[in-house]
Amino acid sequence: MSWTIDYFEQDNGIQPAEVFEDELHSLSRRKMMSRYEQRRRKFLQDPEVAEGYREMTAEFQFVQAIEAIRSNLGISKEDLAS
What DSSP letter does each residue of the chain carry, written as one string? ----HHHHHS--S--HHHHHHHHHHHHHHHHHHHHHHHHHHHHTTSHHHHHHHHHHHHHHHHHHHHHHHHHHHT--HHHHH-
Q: Are residues 54 and 81 in the same domain?
A: yes
Q: Are residues 39 and 76 in the same domain?
A: no
Is the domain of 31 the same as that of 68?
no
Structural domains in the chain (count): 2
State the pLDDT at residue 58.
87
Better-predicted residue by pLDDT, 35 or 1: 35
Is it the case that residue 14 has pLDDT exceeding 70? no
pLDDT at 3: 47
The per-residue pLDDT for range 49-60, each reduced to its tens digit, is 888 888 888 898
> In this structure, are 34 and 70 located in the same domain?
no
Same domain, 9 and 28: yes
- pLDDT over 50 at 78, yes or no: yes
- Do 12 and 38 fall into the same domain? yes
Mean local confidence (pLDDT), 64-80:
92
Residue 37: its pLDDT value, please? 84
Domain with 27, as residue range(s), is 1-43
